Amino acid sequence: MLCLSGLSVAFALALVPGPAEALREGECEVCVTFLGKFYQTLKDDGVNFNSADIEKAIVKSCKDAKGKENRFCYYIGATSDAATKIINEVSKPLSYHVPVEKICEKLKKKDSQICELKYDKQLDLTTVDLKKLKVKDLKKILEEWGESCKGCAEKSDFIRKITELMPKYAPAAAKARTDL
């Protein structure tokens, strides 16, 4: 009898879930950053913290998102072309003011791709030698600025376009560069 009760206690303890895996430093970088900025704008704008209003605000802010943040929005279902819709896994906890790190932990369990998103390293335009960059990186600079280079066929065309636009988008870098 004692053996049977000991066995049932051991079985019951095996069914109790252990502590959730906390996020490591740098993990879920895009999720934590995007939701942190989003939560702050909700507080600043005085939005009513209910699930429906937060969902509308997420969809609205995701329309303006670019790059990795747009990919994050796609994964949570806040874009029009998203296949899944787990946006309520974000809006409901935010309505209760749950920390964004905890929300990202839950999202990681639902879809591990969310935490695999990382921001691209930013180039320091004041010191980088544009001639040594790949065309792919030069195109990425123009894309970040919201520009394109129509008719650019060679690397030198992209470099010329970037140096023309640098005073508009990166004035500090344009002043610091001596090779212009």
**Rounded Cα–Cα distance for residues 30 and 113 (Å):** 11
Domain 29-116, CATH:
1.10.225.10
Q: What does the pLDDT read at residue 4?
A: 45
105 contacts 89 by C-beta, under 8 angstroms: no
Q: What does the pLDDT read at residue 122?
A: 79
Q: What does the pLDDT read at residue 35?
A: 95
Q: What is the pLDDT along the chain (180 residues), one digit of tens a residue?
A: 444 454 444 444 344 344 446 777 778 899 999 999 999 999 999 888 999 999 999 999 999 888 899 999 999 999 999 888 899 999 999 999 999 999 999 999 999 999 999 988 878 888 888 999 999 999 988 988 889 889 999 999 999 999 999 999 888 888 887 554
Q: What does the pLDDT read at residue 22?
A: 72
- Where are the domain boundaries for CATH 1.10.225.10 in the chain? 29-116
104 contacts 28 by C-beta, under 8 angstroms: yes
Percent of the chain that is helix, strand, coil (3-state, to 5): 60, 0, 40
**Rounded Cα–Cα distance for residues 140 and 159 (Å):** 12
Question: Model-level pTM greater than 0.85?
Answer: no
Structure tokens at 85: 């819709």
Q: How is 134-156 classified by DSSP, letter by letter?
A: -HHHHHHHHHHTT---TT--SHH
Q: What does the pLDDT read at residue 123?
A: 81
Q: What does the pLDDT read at residue 67?
A: 87
30 contacts 72 by C-beta, under 8 angstroms: yes
